Amino acid sequence: MAKKIPTRLYLDEEEIPKSWYNLRSDMVSKPDPILHPGTLKSATAADLEAVFCKECVKQELDETNRLIPIPEGLQEFYRAYRPAPLIRAYFLEKALGTPAEIYYKHEGTNTSGSHKLNSAAAQAFYAKAEGLTSLTTETGAGQWGSAMAMACAYYGLDLTVYMVKVSSEQKPYRKALIETYGANLIPSPSNTTESGRKILEQNPNTGGSLGCAISEAIETSVKTDKCRYVLGSVLNHVLLHQSIIGQEARAALEKYGVTPDIIIGCAGGGSNLGGLIAPFMGDKIKGKSKTRFIAVEPASCPSFTRGRYAYDFGDTAKTTPLLRMYTLGSGFMPSANHAGGLRYHGMNPILSKLYKDGYLEARSAVQTDVFDAAVKFAKIEGILPAPESSHAIKAAIDEALECKRTGEKKVILFGLTGTGYFDMSAYMSYNAKTMSDSIPTDADLEKGFASIPEIPQNK
């Protein structure tokens, strides 16, 4: 007889995965290689090691090893906040009157507030092991900066965080949290770097973007001794670290004989979505399942649904290696009225390839609809979700209501990537009904596309 499914599908501590799962090893058609921006040849480990930690570079370029061991010193850190709960949304199912089963993997229970800590801890661990003394990074909504600050405090590394200016103004407490963990926080664009000064000359009133903040963080890291740059999304090694989310979710569901029909994740640069779906997507690629995968992005920054599949830079100053991905162009600036994260112009190359090849679906949502879903979820399930995560909640509710219409009893799993405690100014504007939606026009998008490099590979 099938086991009764509890509200919390716990795993024991010893069931936390000891290796990450490298989805690329099982992909028949691999993502295109990363290119050196000068030579336009495949980037080598030596090229990337000028900017990133060695071990992360090795993982970035690894297309063959299926399982990558998680070092013991990192497993120890993971045990402080994992396994993350997998929750059956009984209350939500009842409130919607749906025959669907809804589950969510709650990554917001650690103090930094989101899934970002899974990769932050890994990157800080490797930096320390390689003898580095400091790191630089960028943060948009602040979740990644908080996670990195927490990880650097634990492993004893200095950290400089370039925070997108508009977010640092909207979220003073996020800033305070990052500083409490000992990081040096600089609103971006700033006049502490050449790239920041250039952006400010061109556009003195800009609220900043992740692309600008990345340029500043990279510039500072290459000019500082024993320092490297760390990125919280988009790159393949970040998705690899996040595969722990999907591995735990699958292990917990398997205990109860549950197989998801639909898996949903919000998509900024793709790290939580890539991590959540990784083992399930591996099954689909091998023909063992028919699970549907849905990426949900903001209508104000629609990389998958309106972007181009092209080689592009990761930053505004065009200094990074080139990634083949769905992109709005590194010059794209999302509207300042967009409250949550998910403001990045590009999308991880693995997910981009899976979307191009038809394994992954994508849709967009406007922020007022996303906040409708967030508030509904908060009232019914009791958890205050991050605006980013609420994109996934919206799609999960829509799919559950579709099941109600058709009478199908599907199993829906979504990623609840973080909590919204530091997003109260966005909730306040939603409550006051002053929140508005902004959808870029085709002409707005063309301006961003004009910044995509005109190289032979893009012809």
Ligand X SMILES: Cc1ncc(COP(=O)(O)O)c(C=O)c1O
Site residues (vs ligand X, CB under 6 A): 114, 140-141, 143-144, 233, 266-273, 341-342, 386, 388-389, 417-418
Closer residue to ligand X, CB minimum distance, 132 or 295:
295
Run of H or E including 57? helix 54-61
CB of 48 to ligand X, least distance (A): 19
Torsion of CA 276, 278, 283, 284, to 10 degrees: 90
Considering beta carbons, is residue 127 or 386 the nearer one to ligand X? Answer: 386
**Token pair of 135, please?**
């790191």
Closest CA to 6 of 94, 89, 81: 89
Joined tokens for residue 263: 């898996």
Phi/psi for 132 (5° steps) reads: -75, 160
State in angstroms the smallest separation of the CB of 366 from ligand X: 17
* β pairing state of 308-312 and 323-327: antiparallel
**Which of residues 273 and 395 has its CB atom nearest to ligand X in the complex?**
273
Phi and psi for 346 in degrees, rounded to 5? -115, -175
DSSP type of residue 114:
B
CB-nearer residue toward ligand X: 35 or 267: 267
**CB nearer ligand X, residue 282 or residue 298:** 298
Identify the DSSP state of 100. Answer: S
Is the CB of 132 or the CB of 238 nearer to ligand X?
238
For the bound state, the minimum distance from the C-beta of residue 264 to ligand X, rounded and expressed in Å, comes to: 12
Residue position matching structure tokens 């966005």: 426
Residue 90: CB minimum distance to ligand X, A: 24
258 vs 396, beta carbon nearer ligand X: 396
Residue number with CB closer to ligand X (98 or 332): 332
**Which is closer to ligand X, CB of 110 or CB of 389?**
389
| CB nearer to ligand X: pick between 200 and 362 | 362
Minimal distance, residue 347 CB to ligand X, in Å: 8
Is residue 41 within 8 A of residue 457, CB to CB? The reply is no
| Alpha-carbon radius of gyration of the chain | 20
Mapping DSSP onto H, E and C, the string for 382-409 reads CCCECHHHHHHHHHHHHHHHHHHHHCCC
Taking a C-beta distance cutoff of 8 angstroms, is the pair 281, 420 a contact? no
Please provide the DSSP assignment of 305-373 as one string.
HH-EEEEE-SSTT--SPBEEEEES-TT----TT--SS---SB--HHHHHHHHTTS-EEEEE-HHHHHHH
State the nearest-atom distance from the C-beta of 262 to ligand X, in Å. 18
Pick between residue 258 and residue 370 the one whose CB is nearest to ligand X: 370
What's the min distance (Å) between Cβ of 360 and ligand X?
13
Rounded CA separation 225/370 (Å): 43
CB of 387 to ligand X, least distance (A): 8
Token digits for 20? 């990450």
Distance of CA 221 to the CA centre of its chain: 22
User: What one-letter code names the amino acid at 136?
Assistant: T
H/E run at residue 174:
helix 172-180
SS3 17: coil
In angstroms, rounded to a whole number, what is the distance separating the alpha carbons of residues 378 and 430?
14
Amino acid identity at 191: N
Closest separation in Å from C-beta 44 to ligand X: 26
Question: In a 10 Å sphere around its CB, with 0-12 CB exposed, 13-18 middle and 19+ buried, how is residue 313 labelled?
Answer: buried
CB of 391 to ligand X, least distance (A): 8
Quote the least distance from Cβ 135 to ligand X, whole Å. 18
d(CA 167, CA 390): 18
